[in-house]
Amino acid sequence: MRIIGFAAGVAVSFLVGSSAEAAPPVEAFGSLPAMSHPHLSPDGKHLAAIEPVNGHPDILVFEVGNPAAKPQAFTGVNWFPIDVKWVNNDRVMGFLKIERMVNERTGRQVREYVRAVSISISGKGEPVLMMNNKRLVDINNGTAQVVGLDPQDPNSIFMEAWDWNKEMPTDSKLISPEAELNLYRVSVDDGKADLVEEGTTKTIDWIVDTQGHAAARLDQDLDLQTTVYVRDGSRSWRSAFTYDSSAGTENVVLGTTADGGSLAVLRYGSRDIKGIDTYPVSGSAFGPALFADATYDVDSYVQDDWTNGIVGARYYADKLESSYSDPKLQAIQKALEKALPGETVDIVSWDQAREHFIVRTESPREPSTYNLFTHTGGQFTALATEYPNLQPADLGDMKPYSYAASDGRTIHAYLTLPPGKPAKNLPTVIFPHGGPEIRDGLGFDWWAQFMASRGYAVLQPNFRGSSGYGWNFTKASFGQWGTGKMQGDITDGVKKLIADGIADPKRICIVGAAYGGYAALAGATFTPDLYACAVSFAGLADAGSVLGNATKYTGKDSEAVNYWRSRLGTSATDAVYLASISPARHAGDVKVPILLIHCKNDLTVPIDQSVLEEGALKNAGKNVQFVQIDGDDHYMTIAATRIEVLKQTEAFLKAHIGN
């Protein structure tokens, strides 16, 4: 037991295991997190979270302060919970991903269904499907977003859903283009939805304020111009501001501020750095920023569970940092950071009285631990760690490792060294992230740490286009896929490791998932002498399919299609250019063994991409291994998938670069 002194008499205690003598088994890394997405009930007496049961994520509800009490488990045959949210002391919402279902009206398969259910912890019947009015359920792929609460009515929530403004024949299988996004009040007791506000055929989102009133409506025209309408003290809507959704910059109305008087808008504005700005509902111009860092983009925002008001923001400055507009939350955040220097401290939930808080702590060698903090008396007690079978001695030391790209641009990266090994002439894994507009930071990474535990140095570069570094850093990636500067930034990191004597130049493998899988294939294809092998999980092999898939699901002039056009560059529709950055079109240039892994139910990057790559490599007489995984998707939702991916990766790396 370790005790850490706090300012103001606060103390922290949590378990620390003994040093490990051998590398932990693959299951210690590949099992699903033992707890995720914990949320306190309004009275603070119960905790709902997602936990694995037999390798499958389920919703569990615990009695706070009574560890001997058996938790309640709520599960479904084909549901995969992705989050939970309390509505009142008896009802917790479960947000579920349900894969590979067919739309009954059209007979076509969709990317995925996302649903919300209301669960009574006192046993008032089975979980209730939200918006279960048959018409709404049938015609909406996603009915899981809670856009507001009513402080006067804890038994209902606000949700949005598409409906048709003209009745369709009951035997019709055609989808009318006259769809409206409407706002509904939904009972958490029976799941029935009642119309509150009717949108237009242009409406794309609704914002509900902290008092349960519709505060804003967002409409988008065919030219991707989005207009935000507000309503203050009357039933009439007025145009507040318009932004260009085709420009590639992100403008997102997140909700309202804690007092409900302003919209909170995630945007760049006149800055290079993305912040959260305010727009007074009764005003005519943007007001002061709710949050804007001088160096780093906002990564995510913090919303009060009981009012839906935006009260804080998170950003990465190597590790994740949090800042709050609410004075009490900010004071708690700073006190915890002072007591736990160098660790990530993240307040993830609190009760309605703001007496009890769930706090996540993490560092590269200490996986996320969820702790219960009680404000009165300053008690801080560990509840659960995500990876209980891993100890700090099992894990590698992770440090920032910045370097200059070939054009002089600074690339931030993170280097994890294998436990107990000096940073000299090591077998090395280059591990680019997916996205591509996400980023890596200082913190525990189950896949990277697994490879480090097997004796490999692991480099995670935030190549240009990674999120967090401002709009100019993002724009610098446009048109730079494949043989361009995005891949060049990764290549420059490899060269830096070799020059510093850290990496053995003959034992370097590139491993990645999603966009990282594409980068792995691009590395083996376009810089074939740099690597000894490559591993691609759910990687893209043909760049042209990016636009094809986006067009298929969202329409040729949608915001998603325009996004990918800008990222691929001015030649996004040029077949010759797209072929030039597609690994499958240049399989003959590959000189090293390649491992392809893909889940058959992947609806984000279809398995056809790996099938195409395997065929191209085989036709070119190359060394390729293809592992297809049944019953899972792009996000490795099931523990068995993650464990299999790690086992295959370990065997492949050992065979080609040793350990």
* Domain parsing of the chain, residue ranges: 1-75+326-395, 396-543+581-657
Is residue 598 within 8 Å of residue 537, measured between CB atoms? yes
Q: pLDDT tier at 175 (50, 70, 90 boundaries)?
A: very low
- The residue among 321, 246, 230 whose CA lies nearest residue 280 is 230
Mean pLDDT, rounded, for 454-476: 96
Q: What is the pLDDT of residue 169?
A: 47
Task: Say yes or no: domain 396-543+581-657 is CATH 3.40.50.1820.
Answer: yes
Q: What is the pLDDT of residue 564?
A: 83
* Integer Cα distance of 275 and 268 in angstroms: 6
Mean pLDDT, rounded, for 440-468: 97
Q: What is the pLDDT of residue 554?
A: 55
How far is residue 15 from each of residues 316, 432, 512, measured CA to CA in Å?
27, 33, 33
Flag whether pLDDT at 550 surpasses 70.
no
The residue type found at 308 is: N
Is residue 339 within 8 Å of residue 5, measured between CB atoms? yes
Mean pLDDT of the chain: 89
Q: What is the pLDDT of residue 77?
A: 65
Q: pLDDT tier at 241 (50, 70, 90 boundaries)?
A: very high
Exposure on the CB side of residue 77, measured as CA atoms within 13 A: 0
How far is residue 536 from each of residues 42, 242, 430, 521, 613, measured CA to CA in Å?
44, 41, 12, 7, 10
- pLDDT for 140-152, tens place per residue? 878 888 999 999 9
Q: Please, what is the Cα angle at 333 between 327 and 335, to 5 degrees?
A: 100
* Integer Cα distance of 147 and 254 in angstroms: 10
H or E segment to which residue 618 belongs: helix 608-619
Mean pLDDT, rounded, for 181-190: 96
> Residues of the chain with pLDDT > 90: what percent?
75
- pLDDT for 558-574, tens place per residue? 777 878 888 888 777 78
Question: Residue 612: what are its φ and ψ, rounded to 5°?
Answer: -65, -45
Q: Give the number of other Cβ atoms within 10 Å of residue 317's Cβ.
A: 12
Q: What is the pLDDT of residue 337?
A: 96
Flag whether pLDDT at 248 surpasses 50.
yes
- The residue among 465, 436, 621, 622 whose CA lies nearest residue 539 is 436
Task: Identify the residue with better confidence: 643 or 601.
Answer: 643
* Integer Cα distance of 532 and 522 in angstroms: 13
Burial class (CB in 10 A: 0-12, 13-18, 19+), 92: buried
Mean pLDDT, rounded, for 608-623: 97
